[in-house]
Structure 1
Amino acid sequence: MLKDRMYYAVKPLLPWSLRIALRRIVARRIARRSREIWPINPAAANPPPDWPGWPDGKQFAVVLTHDVEGPRGLARCAELANREAKLGFRSSFNFIPEGSYQVGANLRRELDARNFEIGVHDLKHDGRLYANREAFRQHARQINRYLAEWQAVGFRSGFMYHNLDWLHDLDADYDASTFDTDPFEPQPDAADTIFPFWVESPAGTAARKPGYVELPYTLPQDSTLFMIFQESAGTIWKEKVDWLVRQGGMVLVNVHPDYLHLGHATPAGGITVMDHYVNLLGYLKDTYPGAYWHALPREVAAYVRAWKKIAPALPSAQ
């Protein structure tokens, strides 16, 4: 990850337009050699052994998540929650504990009271969470304090970095830092599944909990589709949804409130990331009424734990 650390060190010095231009050049090269696995990897369709299916016999699951990266995204959380609620949806908002903004207790309480979920997003979102094993242990102790303070049970790292073995240090019921397929991420090794799965603590260790649930996202990220590839029709999301439905998998999307205002021109006028997202929710609601289990990430984790007959994680004494 040395080249990634170097990139994040100079990233603040690069103009936004230059960073996007460079990412587009790299992404086009990756896309050409990844046609067999992105946006759909057929090998990811196999369910876990003894998979019981979704609750109430639903055909597939829908899980909505949001990573809030900066003050601009923080200011849009309430609006985004309102748009979702009007359409009958709920989501999880993942906040950075020690980033460029302070998330107030009032916002967390308001979202919780409306049956939205609060999650922890990295620690500082500086690309250094996984610098080395001892550093991660120290970061984990700080993250666990925020999990307890916010009464949160879920975690997602910045830039989707992940080490499923080290994540046992966290007092979280689930992690959401992986994906079924995404060759454009800095750490592109995929989970190769469109289902939630159980990550058991290594045998013979003094782990304080038996394991955690991993929730891979299964729709391409908004930044990839609409900022890098400038996709205007939203068809990639919809085509991937249709495939996930046929496989009986999990539609898990990650949309950043920070990017909702961004957009581009179309023959019919301008369209923003918010427009694309609202269209996606409308497509799910209108095309598959009654066919999906719409759940918060914590509810999916609880379902997997019940299937595996695992008790919830207990806070540590750290």
Structure 2
Amino acid sequence: MTEPASAETASVRNPSARLIDGKAFAANLTQDIAREVRAFHDRHQVTPGLAVVLVGNDPASEVYVRNKALQTHRTGMRSFMHMLPETTSQAELLALVGRLNHDPEIHGILVQLPLPAGLDPIAITNAIRPDKDVDGLGEVNAGRLALGQPGLVPCTPLGCLMLLKAELGELRGLHAVVIGASNLVGRPMARLLLAEGCTVTVAHIDTRDPAALARQADILVVATGCNGLVRADWIKPGATVIDVGITRISLPNGKTRLVGDVAFDEAVTRAGRITPVPGGVGPMTIACLLNNTLAAARRIVGGAA
């Protein structure tokens, strides 16, 4: 498999595909959130609070959680970190979630996934109060999304949708193909696109010819965790490609590099617009987490979305 080139190299070789700058979009969104946090505090004398729970010592999760805390503080919100040992039991974790549910200073709760073996992520996620479920993964918020009712939406799909609307404007009538059917990204992404009036096709591990489906897409969202899966001949010329995947690969020189689920150096020659990895979807996930925390505080304190 041809190793994907970096966004910078590919954009120099072929400037025809517009790079969707998620980092810049997320920075602007975060600035807007910071202004809204100040206004919220002036109105209610309350500072939104986000509690993040990390169980175990996964290095990638630790870095991600620290970045969340940093961004939370930058918006003027309060960050409450709970770093638990890998030996934490299901009962102990549920007890902590219960305390956070009843803490008036906490408006958003996120339990970082994946959890260590022996802990049930579904039970833990569903134990979070729906109005504090800022990851949007609990059964109540998932059900609201499925029924087209207001609720807290999973952060990564929400970030993808924001980028798509900023780039394309009206999405109604476009054919969107989502490759990947996880509860974290694929399924909620499909529901969000359906709510925007798109015709939506979902491809997954058992789909017989995902490439044929992908070639029909005006919008192609890829979230599989398989680096370089989508090649140029999967992409309809001029399509908008959102690459959610991110994998760290080793290079011959001993260094490492982050790549996505799309073979970027090929895809950039066919797509009309494309998110790079890194710098595309990733920054939007944390920005949307902060957006959800503010929305949760508004509902809890102010009684409005």
TM-score by length of 2: 0.30
TM-score by length of 1: 0.29
